[in-house]
Amino acid sequence: MPQYRFDLIGELAARDITGHECMNDTEARRDGDLLAHRLVSEKPSLLSDRNFIIVRNDKGDEIYRAPLALH
């Protein structure tokens, strides 16, 4: 299964060094949205239009940005 990385960027940055296996890009995007929602729920101070979860595929290419904001 492909390995994806979910990095936090914006006002506070954190790199995903272990990654997570997903079946495909669609599942990785969904997991990025779930992670963004969970982070905002657990740490509301991260809620900002400037904060994102960047989803990268196993080649390191950005495939998705999940905002840590209410829309």
Entry field: residues in the chain:
71
The tokens 């914006």 sit on which residue?
A: 10
Contact (CB, 8 A) for 50 and 57: no
Residue 43's contacts (CB-CB under 8 Å, 6 or more residues apart) are none
pLDDT reading at 71 higher than 70: no
**Residue range 1-36, pLDDT digits in tens:** 999 999 999 988 999 999 999 999 999 999 999 999
Give the count of domains, the chain: 1
- The answer, as to whether pTM is greater than 0.85, is yes
Residue 36's contacts (CB-CB under 8 Å, 6 or more residues apart) are 52, 53, 66, 67, 68
Residue 9: its H or E element? strand 3-9
Rg (alpha carbons) of the chain, rounded to whole number: 11
Full residue range of the structural domain in which residue 61 is found: 3-68
